[in-house]
Chain A
């Protein structure tokens, strides 16, 4: 699922997000680390499994508020848009969609689906895999 590249010195970083709506304080970090990695000319993807797809369900990014000490905080949508704007790719896995009763129609724009084999292939061909 990584892109074919002519530029061989590009590094690939794969993030894995397993946390969902119950823990908004764990929702944004993979997005902003991925955004920073993409800004450094790396090819970057985030794989959402277990509860991760909850973050990408339609409506969720607007409802989930990433908390901030002292109050305030920002909607998760801000961090997702920042990542998409830097060409970070967002993947969900089929079994974890089933787990929550989702289909791809329930996912926000920009989300792609892969299965377990493709995920492992991405992990093997990544320069770093970082799991949350």
Chain B
């Protein structure tokens, strides 16, 4: 299943905590209901993004691995 992304954020090469920080800033600049596609190579990104979503109340619609990179579709819920 694929989701239409309203915005794409490429965090390839960035390490903790940059992907989380950049995602937070990007999501806050978007409207509730919009979807952010975030790409990361940090091996800590999957658990970090899960914790971030749990804490902030936003939703990870999908997490996948494409060409060695982690790809997240994140919906701004609040």
By a beta-carbon cutoff of 8 Å, the part of chain A in contact with chain B is 11, 32-33, 35-36, 39-42, 82, 86
CB distance from A21 to the nearest CB of B (A): 23
**B21 and A86 form a contact (CB under 8 A):** yes
Residue total for B at the interface (Cβ-Cβ under 8 A): 12
> Is chain B's binding surface mostly helix, strand, loop or mixed?
helix
Cβ distance B17 to chain A, nearest Cβ, rounded Å:
4
Set of chain B residues within 8 Å of A35, measured between Cβ atoms: 17, 21
Closest to A42 in B: B55
Cα A32 to Cα B56 in complex, Å, equals 18
Q: How far is the CB of A128 from chain B (nearest CB, A)?
A: 12
Tell yes or no: B70 within 8 A of A by CB: no
Q: How far, in Å, is B56 (CB) from chain A's closest CB?
A: 5
Contact A36:B16 (CB < 8 A) given known A82-B21, A86-B21? yes
Contact, CB under 8 Å: A39 / B21: yes
Central interface residue in A36, A39, A86, by most chain B CB within 10 Å: A39
Q: Is the interface of A mostly helix, strand, loop or mixed?
A: helix
Query: Are A36 and B55 in contact, with the CB atoms below 8 A?
Result: no
Task: Indicate if the CB atoms of A36 and B56 lie closer than 8 Å.
Answer: no
A92 CB, nearest partner CB in chain B, Å: 23
Q: Give every chain A residue within 8 A of B56 (Cβ-Cβ).
A: 40-41
A40 near B21: Cβ-Cβ < 8 Å: no
Q: How many Å lie between the Cα of A82 and that of B16 in the bound state?
A: 12
Q: With CB as the reference atom, state the residue of chain B lying closest to A86.
A: B21
| B residues 1-35 in Cβ contact with A at 8 Å | 16-18, 20-21, 23-24
A11, A41, A82 interface centre (most CB from chain B within 10 Å): A41
Residues on the B chain within 8 Å of A39, using CB: 17, 20-21, 23-24, 52
